[in-house]
Amino acid sequence: MRENNRAAYELRPIAFVADYVRNVPGSVLCEQGNTRVVATATVEDRTPFFLRKSGQGWVTAEYAMLPGSSGNQRILRERGKINNRSGEIQRFIARALRTVLNLKEIGERTITLDADVIQADGSTRCASLNAGFLALILSLKYLVYEQMIADFPGFQFIAAVSIGVRDKEILVDLDYEEDSRIDNDINIVSNADGALIEVQSFCEGSPLSPDLFQKALALGIEKNLEIIAIQKKVLESVGIPF
């Protein structure tokens, strides 16, 4: 049995607090077990050079673990130059979020999602993506309210979950202690139809059999649907149509 008598296939308690940071187009606090992430969405009337005069917007992301987020071992602030891990995670978040909507519907604008980990206890990239998704949708509400776009864009729900394999046992939503002792670490992003957006699989110990990988994949899609159900309640509570 896992910490707090959690079953192998059970998610940690997940809660999202919308509009956590005032005066930004979108913000969300994600509490996932003992992991805490603040995601904010800001909007700029510009796009990268490769999209100029294309009529298409852009979604990008930044990710950082703040000093003190991992305990008494202080993490240095990332000023200008990010480390390899943070760079990889923010690309992971941005790629997934760009699948959420038709970017032409926001015009030639850039929405930047900043995911700041204020307390880390495993699965921070997945928690950051889940919070970032909600912050992104809240920023669309802002665009409509400010009459920057005429209609609320259509969008699809996405979510991410970590799956681990240890001694051939599949574990859902790893905390730090589990993640540090896992044989295989898998991050799965999927949408409300169960379609896959991205899958990352890392071998930390023993090689992973195709059979166990397929079981982990199916379980990840199932758990993402549980997270999406929570996201839907959050958006309903703030009056966002879907």
Quick one: which of 117, 127, 92 has its CA closest to 12?
Answer: 127
Q: How far apart are the first and last CA of the chain?
A: 38
- Tally Cβ neighbours within 10 Å of residue 158: 25
CA 65, CA 42: separation in Å to the nearest integer? 19
CA 155, CA 210: separation in Å to the nearest integer? 33
Q: What is the DSSP letter of 49?
A: G
Question: If you compute the radius of gyration of the chain from its CA atoms, what whole number of angstroms results?
Answer: 18
**pLDDT interval class at 90 (50, 70, 90):** very high
CATH architecture of 3-237: 2-Layer Sandwich (3.30)
**pLDDT interval class at 83 (50, 70, 90):** confident
How is the chain split into domains, by residue range?
Answer: 3-237
Q: pLDDT (tens digit, 9 = 90+) per residue, 49-58?
A: 998 889 899 9
Quick one: which of 4, 33, 14 has its CA closest to 223?
Answer: 14
Task: Specify the pLDDT at position 3.
Answer: 77
Residue 68 has pLDDT above 80, yes or no: no
The predicted model scores a pTM of 0.94
CB-CB contact of 165 with 171 (8 Å): yes
**How far is Cα of residue 155 from the mean position of the Cα atoms in its chain?**
16
Q: Is 153 left (phi over 0), alpha (psi -120 to 50) or beta?
A: beta
Mean pLDDT rounded to a whole number for the chain: 93
CB-CB contact of 15 with 6 (8 Å): no
Please count the residues of the chain.
242
